[in-house]
Amino acid sequence: MPENKPFQRLPKNVIPKHYDLELTPNLEKLTFTGKTAVKVSIVNSTKEIVLNSLDLELKSVKLQYNDGGSDSTLSPVEVRLNAADETACIVFDKPLPEGEAMLFCEFNGEINDKMKGLYRSKYLTPAGEERYAAVTQFEATDARRCFPCWDEPAIKATFDISLDVPADRVALSNMPVREERIEGGKKFLRFDTTPVMSTYLVAVVVGEYDYVEKKSRDGVLVRVYTPVGKSKQGMFALEVAARVLPYYKEYFDIAYPLPKIDLIAIADFSAGAMENWGLVTYRETCLLVDEEHTSAVRRQWIALVVGHELAHQWFGNLVTMEWWTHLWLNEGYASFVEFLCVNHLFPEYDIWTQFVTETYIRALELDCLKNSHPIEVPVGHPSEIDEIFDDISYNKGASVIRMLHRYIGDDDFRKGMNIYLTRHQYKNTFTEDLWAALEEASNKPVGAVMSTWTKQMGFPMVQVSSEQRGPDRVLTLTQQKFCADGSLGDDTLWMVPITISTQEQPSKVALSTGLEQRTQEVVLENVAESSWVKLNPGTVSLFKIITLYHVSVGL
């Protein structure tokens, strides 16, 4: 990883509480205009309000606050844009008093071709006409390309979103429509107020789509939006989503907090999918199933992606990382839970075997290199964030969460997740907050164990030797950092949960206290010298094993 640039964080002297956001996209000229009215809290008196803005023209900015029963409106003496820092500094001629105020802004911008911010997605109508949809992709720091805002995950607010669009287009956002008016060829839509949420989860789509729908068992309206004429290709994802929501509700013991969820296939999309709260956007190949041509492997992948994004509705959206340093917690956790969910819905997939080959192994392949990085990486400038959307954050993150799940057991894991999500709902967290909740639920040293896996890169190689001492088998375990080039590892140590099964009790997995030192003995009582011993059944803990005499490993 490159050396981190200085942290670029917004000052906290003025923070938003609620946004009224109105957008008017022009799908012919590929431009848009917008208005915001943001209720702000001036925490400390200041002459400057600093927020994020990029590639926008700010045309009209004013501040209105109530001064002793009468409204006072102030115009700034300067609006200073800094493209390098992606900020707008609104400067007034005198300090603003503490209290609440309304910040109004009118702006315009381009519906760009960068697949971030508010961007264009080209599609063909059934008649073969080329048209564009307007789509948002705000993670990690691109809401600022669509409207001026405090574009950091910890600066949450509620949103009232309105869209002024062509009358013949479908227009969607995070929440259901509250009000709709059609005048001439235009349609004005106002959506319900969102929960408290981060700016990167705000979403808008305007285009031409068909949809299929059903209600989940727990009463949530689920819709899958597809290109016109392809609604049948959304049926598989619809069935998966409608079954996933009640599963997560029961698993977390917390209901999905929104009244609807839309899943929509986007023609031009940079990632696989994005977990916008209530309006999840997908690459078409990650959502649509053609009954005649889609392979079984692709169906499994779509089920996993749907499970992943819906897990984020709780873990990421309801409770959000404080800063992008903790991105792995969002993605690693969802990348584990997607398998947990699909294993429940489709046991015939044998999905945990596929986890080993597709997730676990990919993590080890990257992490054994000298230019790997720890799971948890300090992030300074926003430009660094994209660098950590990789196999370490997703695949190694998922693998260590799976290892933790085995270590504390499913019952305590579920209990800890409920503690975590309930305690921090609508708020922001650090990695340590999750460890604290799981430690509280399990009474095991989760923080001490997991910090060795998240704060240092690489993984151990464990040499195992066996010795018979009377009726007992004694295993000597020695750990050392594994390096792909064959060089000797450094002095790094991990706290390694060690699982063992034996020939005498092949279905019983005994959990030792874990390998905590360089060398440690494990005594297996009443295991004959001729019996086999299997370490790490299911390939759950992250280590490579060198074995000597009657010891087998893995699956």
Q: How far apart are CA 400 and CA 544, in angstroms?
A: 14
Q: How far apart are CA 164 and CA 35, in angstroms?
A: 11
Q: Is 331 annotated as a binding residue?
A: yes
3-state secondary structure of 508: coil
Q: How far apart are CA 226 and CA 157, in angstroms?
A: 30
Q: Which helix (H) or strand (E) holds 180?
A: strand 177-183
What's the DSSP call for residue 315? B
Torsion sign over Cα 513, 515, 518, 520: positive
Dihedral-angle region of residue 495 (phi above 0 means left; psi in -120 to 50 means alpha; beta otherwise): beta
Q: How far apart are CA 112 and CA 119, in angstroms?
A: 5
Q: Is 381 annotated as a binding residue?
A: no
Distance of CA 242 to the CA centre of its chain: 20
Orientation angle between helical segments 327-345 and 397-408, nearest 10 degrees: 60
Burial classification of residue 248, based on how many CB atoms lie within 10 Å of its CB (0-12 exposed, 13-18 middle, 19 or more buried): buried
Q: How far apart are CA 162 and CA 142, in angstroms?
A: 19
Give ∠ CA 428-258-182 in degrees, rounded to 5. 120
Helices (H), 409-445: 410-424, 431-442
Q: How far apart are CA 290 and CA 300, in angstroms?
A: 13
Q: Is 424 annotated as a binding residue?
A: no
Q: Find the catalytic residue in 86, 139, 275, 309.
A: 309
3-state secondary structure of 152: coil
Give the number of C-alpha atoms closer than 13 A to the C-alpha of residue 385, restricted to the C-beta side: 17
The two most distant CA atoms of the chain are separated, in Å, by 91
Q: CA of 482: how far to CAs of 95, 451, 488, 517, 548, in Å?
A: 58, 18, 8, 16, 18
Orientation angle between helical segments 397-408 and 431-442, nearest 10 degrees: 20
C-beta of residue 81 within 8 angstroms of C-beta of residue 58: yes
What's the DSSP call for residue 450? H
What's the DSSP call for residue 358? I
Give the residue carrying structure tokens 């005498």. 504
Dihedral-angle region of residue 554 (phi above 0 means left; psi in -120 to 50 means alpha; beta otherwise): left
309 tagged catalytic = yes
Q: Other C-beta atoms within 10 Å of 111: how many?
A: 22
Q: How far apart are CA 34 and CA 16, in angstroms?
A: 18
Instruction: Please identify every residue annotated as catalytic.
Output: 309
Binding residues: 308, 312, 331
Binding residues for Zn(2+): 308, 312, 331
